[in-house]
Amino acid sequence: MQSMSELESRGTHLESFLRFPKDFLWGVSTAAHQVEGNNCNQWTDWEQAGRIKSGDACGRACDWWENPERDFDIARDIGLKALRLSLEWSRIEPEENRFDQKALQRYRQMLEGLRERGIEPIVCLHHFTHPRWFEKTGAFLRPEAPQLFERFAREVANGVGDLCRFWVTFNEPNVYAACGYVLGEFPPGRKGELFNALRVNSMQAQAHVLAYGAIHQLVPEAQVGWAQHYVVFEPAGGIVDRWVATRLDRLFNHVFFELIEDGRLSFPFNLWNGRVRDAKGCCDFVGLNVYSRFHVALDLRQPSTLFTRLYVPEHVPQGDPGVENPYGEAYPQAITRAVKRAARLGKPIYIMENGVPDAADRIRPWLIVNALRELHRLIECGHDIRGYLHWTLTDNFEWNEGWRLRFGLVELDPATQQRTLRSSARLFSEIIRDNGLAVATRNEEPLLSKAIP
């Protein structure tokens, strides 16, 4: 009888089957601006100002405003149990305090369309975009922003609440604040405004609390949470880099967690931002969006990135690079770190996004298998993880990168709207069918070469 390690050392990969809990929610996530086409929000202005690095136009995107059913059919055929979509605030409230019932009706059709196909809709209320009037009047720095968001949430819950059980108030408040107010990568394009970024996050936490209350009032059985982006910051070297990495980790990964966990920020950030009343424990689940690891080093020449240099070493698994920067190391173990952080809130956890930009689908299957391997191990250790949503179904408009980065299980030609299934779609479909996957006991190496030069 040979031992497992003997077999493995001779290159024989033993297989074991990782079974997921009954009713595990397998799905995908999407966002209105990235899939609907022809929106009129602050990102439309950003694009018109020439700020999309690839120079691409969002155009019809995946044409969902006209024909979401084409992709819903694909989602059903893959076997998806859940689909997260965002409801575009700028369509529903195009002018301040004027609500468009036709837009809400259109969203009702979409949610019904998903339900008819046996797919659980998960509604997100803010996925980076909002109406122009909101942006022009200060967005989340406007003192009444929480109440304005609550009014919008109430209108939506009134309009579609009977069709939806799962609600995400905010997608990635940390990315929104960091990219919009510190890095200048998203509208409003401000740089180095750390305190405004913290203020934006406190305002969003207040908005989250009010929306949570409004949704529960109208849809008592609703499950309401938010989706937190989590990045692993790996110190490049010694003590200074470790200090820098810890600062970044705290600012980027922990601020919003702290607001919901304790209802306030801890020192020194509490000097600028007071308590967020009633935020403590205000969520029914935590959503996690997990993609990458970055290496971090002190760099005194870079004040706009808080004196840090983020980089991805050669020879680590990674997808296609963006126009100016690498997207990040594809790092399935990030899921474990994120789950351990989220578990401190004591609520059920859903992986709400995980994926990789990979037009040739050379690394995505590896990522899916290894992310699920991490998840399964965490579940076995007793973590209450209830679902995995892949980012994303069909290639869509990737913010500043336009059409350059392709995250879809399904390839899209935006000009012809032609769809082609990638092998990852077939792999994911089999995993859902079997509610689990057979894995080699040894981790397979991914293909490391970069596809896009």
Q: Which two tokens stand for residue 271?
A: 């000097």
Q: How far is the CB of 383 from ligand BGC (least distance, A)?
A: 22
Of 61 and 214, CB closest to ligand BGC: 61
Q: Does 42 bind ligand BGC (CB under 6 A)?
A: no
Give the residue nearest to ligand BGC (CB): 31
Please report how many Cα atoms fall inside a 13 Å half-sphere around the Cα of residue 85, on the Cβ side.
Answer: 28
Site string for ligand BGC, 174-193 (x = CB under 6 A): -x------------------
The CB-of-382 to ligand BGC minimum distance in angstroms stands at 28
**Which residues are CB-contacts of 65 (< 8 A; sequence separation ≥ 6)?**
36, 37, 38, 106
| For ligand BGC, the closer CB: 32 or 103 | 32
* Dist CA 432 CA 330 (whole Å): 22
In the list 353, 358, 374, 395, the residue contacting ligand BGC (rule: CB under 6 A) is: 353
Give a three-class secondary structure readout of 350-405: EEEECCCCCCCCCCHHHHHHHHHHHHHHHHHCCCCEEEEEECCCECCCCHHHCCCC
Q: Write the DSSP symbol of residue 9.
A: H
3-state secondary structure 199-250: HHHHHHHHHHHHHHHHHHHHCCCCEEEEEEEEEEEEECCCHHHHHHHHHHHH
Candidate ranges 88-96, 159-167, 169-177, 365-373; the one touching ligand BGC (CB under 6 A): 169-177
Residue 175: CB minimum distance to ligand BGC, A: 5
Q: How far apart are CA 201 and CA 199, in angstroms?
A: 5
Cα separation, 196 vs 184, in Å, equals: 13
CB 399, min distance to ligand BGC, A: 6
Annotate each residue in 404-433 with x if it binds ligand BGC (CB under 6 A) or - if it does not, as one string.
---x--------------------------
Nearer to ligand BGC, 151 or 364 (CB): 364
Token pair 């122009």 is found at 132
Region from 170-178, 194-202, 292-300, 301-309 binding ligand BGC, contact rule CB under 6 A? 170-178
Assess 110 for contact with ligand BGC (CB under 6 A): no
Instruction: Report how far Cα 301 is from the mean position of its chain's Cα atoms.
Output: 30
Helix axes 255-262, 194-218, angle to 10 degrees: 50
String marking each residue 250-289 x if it binds ligand BGC according to CB under 6 A: ---------------------------------------x
Nearer to ligand BGC, 107 or 391 (CB): 391
Give the Cα separation of 431 and 352 in Å (integer).
17
Q: Which of 170, 176, 94 minimizes the C-alpha distance to 133?
A: 94
Cβ-Cβ contacts under 8 Å for 80 (sequence gap 6 or more): 26, 27, 28, 119, 393, 432
DSSP state of 237: S
* Residues contacting residue 158 through CB under 8 Å, at least 6 positions apart: 218
Residue 211, SS3?
A: helix
Q: How far is the CB of 352 from ligand BGC (least distance, A)?
A: 8
Q: What would the x/- binding string for ligand BGC be over residues 206 to 245, using CB under 6 A? A: -----------------------x----------------
User: In angstroms, what is the minimal distance from the CB of 395 to ligand BGC?
Assistant: 10
Candidates 65, 134, 149, 391; binder of ligand BGC (CB under 6 A) is 391
Work out which of 31, 296, 393, 437 binds ligand BGC, going by CB under 6 A.
31
Provide, rounded to whole angstroms, the least separation between the CB of residue 396 and ligand BGC.
7
Q: Which stretch binds ligand BGC (CB under 6 A): 80-88, 167-175, 293-301, 307-315?
A: 167-175
Return the bridge partners of 412, or none: 419
Percent helix, percent strand, percent coil in the chain, to nearest 5: 40, 20, 40
Q: How far is the CB of 2 from ligand BGC (least distance, A)?
A: 44
Give the end-to-end CA distance of the chain in Å, rounded to a whole number: 49
Which tokens hold the place of 434?
């079997």
Residue 288 or 339 with smaller CB distance to ligand BGC: 288
Piece of 88-96, 171-179, 252-260, 437-445 that binds ligand BGC (CB under 6 A): 171-179
Tell which one of 273, 398, 409, 424 touches ligand BGC (CB under 6 A): 398
Question: Could you say which residues in the range 57-76 bind ligand BGC, by CB under 6 A?
Answer: none
Site membership for ligand BGC, residue 172 (CB under 6 A): yes
Q: Which stretch binds ligand BGC (CB under 6 A): 10-18, 134-142, 168-176, 371-379?
A: 168-176
Query: Where does residue 451 rank: exposed (0-12), middle (13-18), buried (19+ CB within 10 A)?
Result: middle
- Report which of 387, 346, 368 is spatially closest to residue 83, judged by C-alpha positions: 387
- At its nearest, how many Å lie between ligand BGC and the CB of residue 279? 22
Q: How far apart are CA 365 and CA 383, in angstroms?
A: 24
* Site for ligand BGC, rule CB under 6 A: 31, 171-172, 175, 229, 289, 353, 391, 398, 407
